[in-house]
Amino acid sequence: MELKNKKWTHDEFNAIRKEVLTHWPTGSEVNFEEAVKYHENIPAKRHFAKRLVKAKNNGETLTQPRAGVALIDEHINLLNFLKNEGEADLLPSTIDSYTRQNQYKEAQNGIEESLKAGRSLLNGFPAVNHGVKGVRRVVESVDAPLQVRHGTPDARLLGEITIAAGYTSYEGGGISYNIPYAKSVSLERTIYDWQYCDRMIGLYAEHGVEINREPFGPLTGTLVPPSVSHAVAVIEGILAAEQGVKNITLGYGQCGNLVQDIAAIKALEQLADEYMAKHGYNDTVLTTVFHQWMGGFPQDEAKAFGVISWGAAAAALAKATKVIVKTPHEALGIPTKEANAQGLRTTKQMINMLKDQSFPMTKELEIEINMIKAETRCILDKVFELGNGDYAVGTVRAFEAGVLDVPFAPSKFSLNKILPARDNNGAVRLFDVGNLPFTPDIVAFHKDKMNERAKAEGREASFQMVIDDIYAISKGNLVGRPR
């Protein structure tokens, strides 16, 4: 395995594909030529990439939940409920934890126990075990665009089966499905394995079948500064484009300050266009996804609806192409289908009320956009330099040096030196910039913002602010003020 950001040849890909399809017996059901013909007959209204392009052109913000259960019929019923009762525009199949760890035997046991119990005993849909035939039953029973959502470091077989079955969008990436999810899986390994996934989707594109790819934007979902998540998003977008992916959705997790959140989506669009063009990927369609608050939620359902509504408003005013919706059961565990639909309808109502309104380009918003772009460029350009012109190699070296760093990540390959906290207006800043390659004026900007809050609160800027902010929203606030 030699890691480099270079498109794999057909021979390189096919040599590995033979081995990947043996990882579980259902791999034998994958027939690429048959899958291409099947995709050619999927109507536009059920095609993820086409629906996103239509939304982007029309200025729409589409809604999408998370959802998945163990058994096929129950999964079909769940998705149709969320479409009909939740008014969801796009639908997911969220994959179970065993499949995410490639533990297909345990997933099979979960299916069998679920059949005995008459209810799902898995926290998602075990697509690999159901195979192409089983997964295609879902595709043919749900009249909406479908995406695979998971959290899998090695998602090669999952990708082969679900795309062959007719799914038209695939989430994840070699950085975003490693650093926030795994402890001891090397970046070289996951970036390489996700090059396989991207090359597979690139092969479909070569045969006229456009599959949407979506790196996971929020990362750890806890006070992640926009520039950190944007840097990862742009890198994963570039890695996908190099392997031939033509339709990419880049994501961002809500921080909570409205101006910063709107600025983040606008900056992400501009940075993605800039860096894709800079490196010659001019035929890639780019869209955005806004994730409603990924941190701790209030247990009180009424308060949870407040958090959901705020995320919906931010997504609508930012003009994100789609929004990933939370539920009022977020603090309690896996939601009921009714609670999931409630979150969707709440979001849809807010989007519909705001769709004809625009947020003015204020001086504050302009400053925020420019700061996010400046910070992100510092990181991206240093990664490119460390890799001697190769983003794949540079990413590995950047994490080793702390040039790329994700706060509160479980991975031992992230230095975890940066410490985010909110400023006096609730925007996410850096209490400690760690080894991020920021210019002195950017470092000073963050320090000034933290000192401004400290003065307002009558206390020293300290690690306690970080702790207070992590729990603030679940306790009913945005900024973790001292009592």
User: Which active-site residues does the annotation give?
Assistant: 100, 171
Which among 337, 311, 336, 341 is positioned nearest to 324, based on CA atoms?
311
The span from the CA of 225 to the CA of 422, in Å, is 10
| Alpha-carbon torsion, ordered 7, 211, 52, 289, to 10 deg | -60
Report residue 477 as tokens.
């606030």
How much is the CA Rg of the chain, to the nearest whole Å? 21
For the chain, give the number of residues.
483
Asked if 438 and 456 count as a contact pair (C-beta separation under 8 A), the reply is no
The span from the CA of 218 to the CA of 225, in Å, is 10
The span from the CA of 357 to the CA of 246, in Å, is 31
Q: Where are the alpha helices (DSSP H) in 433-481?
A: 440-457, 463-472
Give the sign of the dihedral formed by CA 168, CA 174, CA 175, CA 178: positive
Which among 263, 252, 261 is positioned nearest to 365, based on CA atoms?
263
The span from the CA of 67 to the CA of 75, in Å, is 8
Owner of token pair 């602010």 = 465
Q: Which long-range contacts (CB under 8 A, 24 or more apart) does 33-40 make?
A: 34/164, 35/132, 35/163, 35/164, 35/165, 35/166, 35/204, 36/204, 36/207, 36/208, 36/209, 38/136, 38/164, 38/166, 39/166, 39/168, 39/204, 39/209, 40/208, 40/209
The span from the CA of 139 to the CA of 80, in Å, is 11
Q: Buried b vs exposed e over 247-261: b needs ≥16 C-beta within 10 Å?
A: bbbbbbbbbbbbbbb
The span from the CA of 291 to the CA of 226, in Å, is 12
Asked if 76 and 137 count as a contact pair (C-beta separation under 8 A), the reply is yes
| Residue 2 backbone phi and psi in degrees, to 5 | -110, 115
Q: Where are the alpha helices (DSSP H) in 207-330?
A: 226-242, 258-278, 301-318
| Residue 428 backbone phi and psi in degrees, to 5 | -80, 120
Report residue 405 as tokens.
């760093």
Q: What is the amino acid identity at position 449?
A: K
